[in-house]
Amino acid sequence: MAYVHGYDERANERLDDQARTLLELLHADTSYPAGSLVLEAGCGVGAQTVTLAQRSPGARFVSIDVEAESVAAARARVVRAGVSNVELRQADIFDLPFAEGSFDHVFVCFVLEHLAQPVQALEILARVLRPGGTITVIEGDHGSTYFHPDSAAAHEAIQCQVELQHAAGGDSNIGRRVYPVLVEAGFSAVHVRPLMVYVDASRPELVDGFTRKTFTAMIEGVREDAIAAGLIGAERFDEGIRDLYRTAEADGTFSSAFFRGVGERGG
């Protein structure tokens, strides 16, 4: 039992290390002043929550998610990390239980990609911001992904994820649209910065943590749904996944971009 427990702990640490590599890139610029109140909208199982809260120890966070199970998982994660400046609540972005102007800042990461109406969601989030408060939006873009050796099968496998997301009402390529959706939602002083993840053999922590265990694992995760939906044959999908793993070898490279936008609520 002790051994198994020890093994699990090490596995968790390794997963956390991998997540940290990407989180460092995504959140390097995100820190909130002491005393500010921040809404994390769509926290999921809390993948970003602990990092966010630890980077701004003087700020207070309210992290919400629409799924009760996710909120419970996020709460467990926050408790495990010993973070005390986060309050977790189950709540729907489209039916927020907060008064207008309640928050100094809003943080939204990997959420808009799932929404059929991202502009409407941002308009609602704008209302709970005080005038002059800021929103930070971080989204990926699967269409920003390319690699060496190149592979049509790998692009087809990635496209399955894009099409499944699309069928569910979302947009896996929303990263490139962060600027126009923030502008359309009425935010001012909108500034978007690309965060490009580039991986080659000189960056072994990213080869393993990003190319293999984050990106390729995510695409691998849609295998059954993609085949069931008739988007691709099993052999072609598996060829694409093999080719994605191939880019993690010594002479391979892998690139994908995220976009980080900041906007201000007008007065």
Is residue 144 part of the contact set for a copy of itself (CB under 8 A)?
Answer: yes
Nearer to a copy of itself (CB atom), residue 113 or residue 200: 200
* Residue 163 makes contact with a copy of itself by CB under 8 A: no
3-state secondary structure of 110: coil
d(CA 94, CA 87): 19
Cα distance between residue 193 and residue 121, in whole Å = 21
Pick between residue 107 and residue 147 the one whose CB is nearest to a copy of itself.
147
Contact call for residues 223 and 168 (beta carbons, < 8 A)? no
* Length of the chain, in residues: 267
For residues 193 to 222, the per-residue mask of contacts with a copy of itself, x marking binding by CB under 8 A and - elsewhere, is xx-x-x-xxx--------------------
Query: Binding of a copy of itself at residue 92 (CB under 8 A)?
Result: no
CB 41, CB 135: distance < 8 Å: no
- At position 224, the amino acid (one-letter code) is E
CB of 42 to a copy of itself, least distance (A): 22
Least distance CB 146 / a copy of itself (angstroms) = 5
Position among 30, 48, 172, 173 found at the interface with a copy of itself (CB under 8 A): 173
Strand 60-65's sheet: what is its strand order?
A: 86-90, 60-65, 37-41, 103-109, 129-148, 253-264, 188-200
Query: Considering beta carbons, is residue 28 or 76 the nearer one to a copy of itself?
Result: 28
Rounded-to-integer distance, Cα 111 and Cα 169, Å = 12
Give me the residues that bind a copy of itself (CB under 8 A), please: 141, 143-144, 146-148, 150, 173, 176-177, 179-180, 183-184, 190-194, 196, 198, 200-202, 250-253, 255, 257, 259
